[in-house]
Amino acid sequence: MPGSLVAVIDYGSGNLRSAERALLRAAEGGSDAEIRVTADPEWVRRAERIVLPGVGAFADCMAGLLGIPGMIDAMDEAVRRQGRPFLGICVGMQLLATEGREHGRHAGLGWIVGEVVRLQPGDAALKVPQTGWNELSFSRPDHPLLAGLEPGDHAYFVHSYHLRPRDGGVALAETDYGGPVLAALAAGNIAGTQFHPEKSQRTGLRLLANFLKWRP
């Protein structure tokens, strides 16, 4: 049934299988989602939901997306014109920004006005990358993507850069790493997490299950 298709975009970034397997597990509780890892823009255009995982450097990942003819157009059509639910994970969220400043300045998708900059924790003892489990605080606790989660729940982060949106109102959750760091965002049908829900055990699987049911 094409209506329940969830496209996980394969653009050469590592660890797609983890996202796929976690979505499969999250779908077990009553979702009819069909999870498909794909590099084919046609599947993305047809998908009911779209997930953009991401591991690696901003510019490399952006180049990976641009390297698939028609992929960004298909994402634009499905997400921005048709309003289908979208979830970017880690660098997949960062790519939404206007600009990334990892190893130079690089244009992102520009769906969220903002920039991706290096973590500069206020406390000099904090290491970069931030690696490990950190607590979430909720900017919009009633958002359906956070259903069943509690402030103070932990999620797994591993990143050296973070997205600073111009409009702070898009924030869904934050974490503290020597200062506030955007942990999740939602703007209309477009969502993203800086942490890895596919690696965040119960908390992450719940967020993915919420995404599969989300009707923005």
Partner 1 sequence: MLKRRVIPCLDVKDGRTVKGIGFVDLKDAGDPVELARRYDAEGADELAFLDIAASVEGRGTLLELVRRTAAECFMPLMVGGGVSTVEDVRQLLLAGADKASINTAAVREPELVSRAAAKFGSQCITVAVDAKQVGSARWEVFTHGGRKPTGLDAVDWSRRMAELGAGEILLTSMDRDGSQAGYDLELTRRVVEAVPVPVIASGGAGGLDHMAQVLAETGVSAVLAASIFHFGRHTIGEAKRAIAAAGIPVRLGR
Q: Is 46 helix (H, G, I), strand (E, B) or coil?
A: helix
The answer to whether residue 77 is catalytic is no
Q: How far is the CB of 133 from partner 1 (least distance, A)?
A: 5
Closer of 1 and 125 to partner 1 (Cβ): 125
Instruction: With beta carbons less than 8 A apart as the criterion, state whether 85 and 97 touch.
Output: no
Q: How far is the CB of 53 from partner 1 (least distance, A)?
A: 12
Q: Which candidate, 181, 178, 184, 214, places its Cα nearest to that of 196?
A: 184
Closer of 56 and 216 to partner 1 (Cβ): 56
Return residues touching partner 1 (CB under 8 A): 14-15, 17-18, 21-22, 25, 55-57, 60, 91, 125-135, 154, 156-160, 176-177, 196, 198-202, 204-205
Q: How far is the CB of 34 from partner 1 (least distance, A)?
A: 18
Instruction: With beta carbons less than 8 A apart as the criterion, state whether 8 and 20 touch.
Output: yes
Could you report how far apart the first and last alpha carbons of the chain are, in Å?
A: 21
The catalytically annotated residue of 48, 102, 174, 198 is: 198
Beta-ladder partners of 181: 175
Q: How far is the CB of 212 from partner 1 (least distance, A)?
A: 15
The catalytically annotated residue of 90, 115, 143, 174 is: 90
Closer of 84 and 108 to partner 1 (Cβ): 108
Q: Tell me how many degrees the CA angle 136-142-146 measures, rounded to the nearest 5.
A: 45
104 in the Ramachandran plot: left (φ > 0), alpha (ψ -120 to 50) or beta? left
The answer to whether residue 90 is catalytic is yes
Residues belonging to the active site:
90, 196, 198
